[in-house]
Amino acid sequence: MTAPRLLIVDDDPRLREMLGYSLRREGFTVLEAGDGAAALALLARETVDLVVLDVLMPELDGLEVCRRLRRTSSVPVIFLSSRGEELDRVLGLELGGDDYLAKPFSPRELVSRVRAVLRRARPESPAEAPVEEILAYGPLRLDVARHRCVVGARELELTVTEFRMLQALLTASGRVLTRQELIDRAYEGRHFVSDRTVDSHLRRVRQKLREEGLDPIETIHGLGFRLRED
């Protein structure tokens, strides 16, 4: 099995060296970039499975890198930042990030988060795949095994977390899911995920679907979310 390819983007060479060492020791192939422009140039010519992206970088910061990346790619992104305010976390996730680590953190914690996001991103093995691999809602088709979302003839780019939350709502068959239930289905591990984080991901899913003339997700105030009647 090919080792997952990761890109570390941070302007601190010592941090890149430390994280690169820890991730390579765990079997990952690691590429590095020292700034946002270099990261985008590398991503234009290389295929990676996940990006570890620092938020605070000079000139082109991590948020802008993610914003540009999301125009063409749904590759998973884990943000790193020395600022731990909720506003920064929410902004990063609204731009399409899949997870967020506030500095300082241990390399072991990053490895754990990387593995969790990659597990969510990769299709299940055939032995574990659900019997119903295609989930449908009107013109919407969600191919779970291939991680593809199609509305009519158009394929939508969803991040790992966006895909998993939409999948959870489709499999709930109209039942209301609380934010905690969505967190349990979309994330792995026990790290804290706030209600605002859930709302940010769902807001992005809704925006992408509305652009295709579809508005299937209904907010049930005080309870959670469900799909409207098809």
**Residue 222 pLDDT:** 87
pLDDT at 85 over 90: no
Q: Where are the domains of the chain?
A: 5-121, 134-227
Average pLDDT value for residue range 178-207: 79
Tell me the helices (H) and strands (E) count for the chain, helix number first: 8, 11
- The CATH number given to 134-227 is 1.10.10.10
pLDDT in the model for residue 64: 92
Task: Give 132-147 pLDDT, tens digit per residue.
Answer: 578 999 999 999 888 8
Q: 73-77, 127-131, 142-146, 190-194: lowest mean pLDDT where?
A: 127-131
Give the Cα separation of 6 and 28 in Å (integer). Answer: 7
Report pLDDT for 129.
Answer: 44
Domains 5-121 and 134-227 share a fold: no
Scanning the structure block, which residue is given the tokens 């003839």?
A: 153
Neighbours of 196 (CB within 10 A): 14
- Nearest CA to 3 among 22, 25, 27? 27
Q: ∠ CA 62-65-66 to the nearest 5 degrees?
A: 90
Q: Which residues are 99's β-sheet partners?
A: 78
Judged against a pLDDT cut of 90, whether residue 71 lies above it is answered with no
pLDDT greater than 50 at residue 224:
yes
Q: What is the mean pLDDT of residues 167-179?
A: 90
**pLDDT over 60 (residue 176):** yes
E strand or H helix that includes residue 135: strand 134-137
How far lies 4's CA from each of 13, 26, 27, 172, 180, in Å? 22, 10, 8, 32, 30
Give pLDDT tens digits for 116-129: 888 877 755 444 44
CATH domain 5-121 topology: Rossmann fold (3.40.50)
pTM of the model as a whole: 0.68
Q: CA angle, 138 as apex, 135 and 141 as ends, to 5°?
A: 35
